[in-house]
Structure 1
Amino acid sequence: MPTDYIPFRETNYFSNFICDYLDQNPELKDFYHHFPNLENFEAQIEEKRQSGHVSESHRKILVNTLKSQYKNLETSDLTAEHIELLNSENTFTITTGHQLNLFTGPLYFLYKIISTINLTEQLKEIYPKNNFVPIYWMASEDHDFEEINYFNFKGKKIQWNSEQTGAVGHFNTEGLADVFDVISSEFGAGKNAEQLKTWFKEAYLNHDDLADATRYLANELFGEYGLVILDADDKELKRLFIPQMKNELLEKVAFETVSETNKNLEALGLKIQVNPREINLFYIKDGLRERIVEIDGNYQVLESDMSWSEDELLQHLDEFPERFSPNVIMRPLYQEVILPNLCYIGGGGELIYWLQLKSNFETQNVTFPMLLLRNSALVKSKKQAEKQEILNISDKDLFLDRHSFINKKVRKISNIDIDFSEQIEHLESQFKHLFELAEQTDKSFYGAVKAQEVKQIKGLKHLEKRLLKAQKRKLADQIERSTELQEQLFPNQSLQERTINFSELYLEYGADLIPELKNALTPLKGEFLILNLK
């Protein structure tokens, strides 16, 4: 299982902002707490232990909720042990979150969870007196169905159509039998295909709602590694969050603190991911998930006739906390209040919006977690790796945009040196002398000399492009095979992990896929993995 690594910055697929975070740029220090390296976990553990948010009774509610959610699942011994360990004050969590994408959605779903599992195992080795539990937080309260109702398989979009509205975790699985018919045909025959069909059928045809279906599937994939799957759309868990929700409704703290942080981040050139509302809570009930707003002292739910006075709203919150749903600004706070969590693992976009939130955590007196960029990987088959070697393409070249990739390949395989940079440099040197001559004789000629320099350099570049184009035609076969390989590994010129579904790899590697990925992904490595699977 040969592996290689490339710095995230050199892939050109990650923002400068995230790369600056990974480099621990001093300008960003105010926006996060402890940077995620092994030695910093000791301080994070102690701070979380002393914070007082996750008390003994608090842990008991968490454990009872998890046991209730797992009651109809075949639970591995390790997952059952992890749930029980959450009762102990020496047990902490590492958490990742993800939407309820159909059949897990993009491949990086696996990388998120494996990163989380592997980090807990690494921490146990370093801090053996403590226990570490990997948590997958299901985003069951999201309402953007269009983002999650499909997955890509070999260039085709496998989609579930439904007219349901509200929190997606509540969606019934009606209509997914039709999707099963489609994937049965697409997956074909064979042992690995049959396993994929079984997982899909058991998850989506034998469970009533999307939350239960996703829990089943994630448990099937990762239960043996002790993953604990949490659906925080729960009355008793939200009861633990009532103080923060009251604060949000009455004081609008998040709006003020996050808005100020956003200004500071924008001053550093960051494009803001999320903007706070005055009230960052939704109301959930019977297919409805709409914002709560305050208008002239009354609290209303948009697109409905529900409204309350302040006292009525607070009473309603105490009676029905499950109907109040944190938005993207408040969800991280909810997570850190109900979990003994040390670190959140997410993608680049997620980490950017977490960096917007530290000031709100500080105002609410909640410990801000460490933020770790999830593992990223490019998986190559043995056949693809062999083809890459034959075509003499470096791993770094694969990450080039298509135009640069082709041009570099043409130059590399051509027996004619179509690189006029030396000639252009020589021309610029000649014109430097002409500029000096113009300065000494008649400065009015300076503009004419400059125009001539621009014209001649432009002519050379144009000629270089024409010769490259001619060579592309001559070398069309090799260029086609090279771009075909790049397209296989970077579908639609995007990272493989953001495009394909795990099923494509599972068809080829079967039960070896997840163990191989688990062995290769190192969460604190801080570089992009290139993995050749046999």
Structure 2
Amino acid sequence: MRIERIRLDSSGELSDEYLFSFSKVQHLYGLDPGKGESFRKRYDELSRRETSFSRSRLVEVLRQFHSGELHHPAVEQNIRRLEKPGSVVVIGGQQAGLLAGPLYTLYKAISVIQLARREEERLGVPVIPVFWIAGEDHDLDEVNHIYVPGPDGRLIKHRLPLSEGGKRISAGHVLLDPQSLGEWLRELGRMLPDTEFKEGMLKELAQWAEEPVSLTRYFARLLHRLFGRFGLVQIDSSFPPLRRIEGAFFERLIADNAALDEAVGDQIKQVEKMGYSSPLVLHPDCAHLFIYVDGERQLLLRDGDGFITRDGRRRWSGRELLRVAREEPERFSNNVVTRPLMQEFLFPTLSAVVGPGEIAYWGCLRKAFSEMGMTMPVLMPRIGVTLIDRATERYMGLLDLSVEEIFSGLDRRKRQWLKEHAPLDVQELFADAAKQVEGLYDTLVQQLSPLGPEMRRIGEKNRLRVMEQLDYLKNQAERMIRLRHETALRRFDHISLRCRPGGKLQERVHNITPYWNEYGTEWIERLAEAPLTFFEHQVVFL
């Protein structure tokens, strides 16, 4: 495995300023992730802070979650280390996507593992890697599919229906049906080429759901399979025992809800004043909490001195909702604003590993942390990776393509290559021909004008027909050139599909299964152990 590093072009968004011009946005965040001293400052701050969490209760919940098939000696050792006063965590999370969703989920887990290892060596204290599974999210359309490269050069959206009768239900409450998943996996097998790893991969994926299992548990089993040996501790945000130790903070979020909302609103205005569009679009009077009512996850809004569901069907006074939080905390869940706050309440967080979108919305939260008596951890960008399979690497060599060209101007390079290898310049040839035809008709129509306006109209109509035929001939000539160089153009298309599908980064679209099928999973372990950088994009040749 060979790794090259590049810096991607800036998008000009808030996340890019955070990564490469931190001083411009420091007032929105606090600690600079590019400076080692930031982690020492954060650790010292955690050491002085009055703990808002119970280590023993948290450890008990983590052990419950890792019972049975999620038990691993390395994970158990890290859970034990978290019990020790002075230990801290590096944490990152993601939605529970089907088969782990896009590849960046795996890269976030690797980032958490690597950063925890680095900071433990630097600080000389236990630093535990933790992965937060966002099991409370209810947008199932975002997690019910994977994309698979098809034989025709297009991506296939392979979808597993996760309908729950149209109800808004958290991913952690969705049960996978073994029969439906089994058929879905068999269809996946038919999409993938036969390899030495295919049968074993499909067997493993099916074994993890031989009986009904929640989507989040299935997700956890896959991550455990890949990263358990590295001691990665996981927790599902929808895990009922975790909810029970979150009750006290839900009460705080309810009691101080208006002030929390005002703090978020003020910082959003700051972000917009700096010229950035707000990464958070909030409902007026949003309580930043959800509540389960009649089996459905409902957004809570403030309504005078009380609270109301977004559909307006249920209302509670402030006192009534505090009682629900105290007695039935499992009915509540967080939104994009309160999830980082809850994470801070539960864990002694040295650093949170985040993606570009998360960096942007965390930029709206510093005042919210302050309102809750907290400070933000060091936000560290997750690593970015593009995998180059062996066929793609071979095609790059045949086309004399550099890594940089893949990320900036692949379509332009394709057009340039075609122009260089064409026997004639079709564009120039037909541009000259069109100019000559236009000139001829200008003269001809002018000479026919004494025959009256009808003749002029017929002449103009005839001109359009001739130009259409000329355009048809041009298209046919270009088609013949493409056919002559069909093999090379297919190689360009292969590279685009594998590395920049739809113009997006590979990690945001592709799933692990095509690479597992072709190379097994050893490359994942090697990637977790390789020296990676957090501020450059890694191009990994498999």
TM over 0.5: yes
**Residue 353 of structure 1: CA displacement?**
0.6
**Residue 389 of structure 1: CA displacement?**
1.8
The 2-side partners of 1:3 and 1:275 are apart by 38
Q: Report if aligned partners of 2:22, 2:32 keep a CA contact under 8 Å in 1.
A: no
Q: 1:253 to 1:412 in 2, by over 3 A?
A: farther
Aligned pairs for 1:383-402 within 5 A: 383-402=391-410
Aligned equivalent of 2:20, options 15, 18, 23: 23
Post-superposition CA distance 1:178-201 (Å, at most 9, x none): 323322433465542123213321
Aligned equivalent of 1:169, options 160, 168, 172: 172
User: Is the aligned partner of 1:201 residue 2:209?
Assistant: no
Aligned equivalent of 1:65, options 41, 45, 61: 61
Q: Report if aligned partners of 1:100, 1:214 keep a CA contact under 8 Å in 2.
A: yes
**Equivalent in the alignment of 2:444:** none
Aligned pairs for 1:104-123 within 5 A: 104-123=100-119
SS of residue paired to 2:292 = strand
**Residue 514 of structure 1: CA displacement?**
0.8
User: Is the aligned partner of 1:41 residue 2:39?
Assistant: yes
The 1-side partners of 2:22 and 2:384 are apart by 21
SS of residue paired to 2:297 = strand
**Equivalent in the alignment of 1:152:** 147
Aligned equivalent of 2:375, options 367, 372, 380: 367
Residue 148 of structure 1 aligns to which amino acid in structure 2?
V
Root-mean-square deviation (CA, aligned residues, Å) is 2.8
Residue 237 of structure 2 aligns to which amino acid in structure 1?
A
The 2-side partners of 1:274 and 1:291 are apart by 15
Q: Report if aligned partners of 2:422, 2:481 keep a CA contact under 8 Å in 1.
A: no
SS of residue paired to 2:279 = coil
Residue 353 of structure 2 aligns to which amino acid in structure 1?
I
The 1-side partners of 2:422 and 2:259 are apart by 63
Aligned pairs for 1:310-349 within 5 A: 310-349=318-357
**Equivalent in the alignment of 1:90:** 86
Q: Report if aligned partners of 2:226, 2:525 keep a CA contact under 8 Å in 1.
A: no
Aligned equivalent of 1:514, options 501, 524, 532: 524
SS of residue paired to 2:374 = coil
Q: Report if aligned partners of 1:374, 1:523 keep a CA contact under 8 Å in 2.
A: no
The 1-side partners of 2:538 and 2:131 are apart by 22
**Residue 247 of structure 1: CA displacement?**
3.8
Q: Report if aligned partners of 2:254, 2:321 keep a CA contact under 8 Å in 1.
A: no
How many correspondences in the alignment? 480
Q: Report if aligned partners of 2:226, 2:521 keep a CA contact under 8 Å in 1.
A: no
**Equivalent in the alignment of 1:423:** none
Q: Report if aligned partners of 1:111, 1:374 keep a CA contact under 8 Å in 2.
A: yes
SS of residue paired to 1:204 = coil
Post-superposition CA distance 1:270-317 (Å, at most 9, x none): 122213443111002553100122334332334474332222221121
Q: Report if aligned partners of 2:195, 2:518 keep a CA contact under 8 Å in 1.
A: no
Residue 529 of structure 2 aligns to which amino acid in structure 1?
N
User: Is the aligned partner of 1:183 residue 2:188?
Assistant: yes
Residue 28 of structure 2 aligns to which amino acid in structure 1?
F
The 1-side partners of 2:530 and 2:373 are apart by 38
**Equivalent in the alignment of 2:50:** 52
Q: 1:80 to 1:247 in 2, by over 3 A?
A: closer
Q: Which range moves more in the overlay, 360-369 or 511-520?
A: 511-520
User: Is the aligned partner of 1:488 residue 2:498?
Assistant: yes
The 2-side partners of 1:30 and 1:211 are apart by 36
Residue 24 of structure 1 aligns to which amino acid in structure 2?
S
For structure 1, which runs of at least 5 residues remain unmatched after alignment? Answer: 421-465
User: Is the aligned partner of 1:226 residue 2:220?
Assistant: no
For structure 2, which runs of at least 5 residues remain unmatched after alignment? Answer: 150-154, 429-473
Residue 230 of structure 2 aligns to which amino acid in structure 1?
Y
Aligned equivalent of 2:278, options 260, 263, 272: 272
**Residue 100 of structure 1: CA displacement?**
0.8
Q: 1:326 to 1:406 in 2, by over 3 A?
A: same
Q: Report if aligned partners of 1:299, 1:310 keep a CA contact under 8 Å in 2.
A: yes
SS of residue paired to 1:163 = coil
**Residue 61 of structure 1: CA displacement?**
0.8
**Residue 67 of structure 1: CA displacement?**
0.8
Q: 1:99 to 1:342 in 2, by over 3 A?
A: same
The 1-side partners of 2:118 and 2:480 are apart by 49
SS of residue paired to 2:96 = coil
Q: 1:390 to 1:163 in 2, by over 3 A?
A: closer
SS of residue paired to 1:73 = helix
Residue 14 of structure 2 aligns to which amino acid in structure 1?
F
Post-superposition CA distance 1:399-419 (Å, at most 9, x none): 12454233444577689999x
The percent of aligned pairs where both chains have the same amino acid is 24
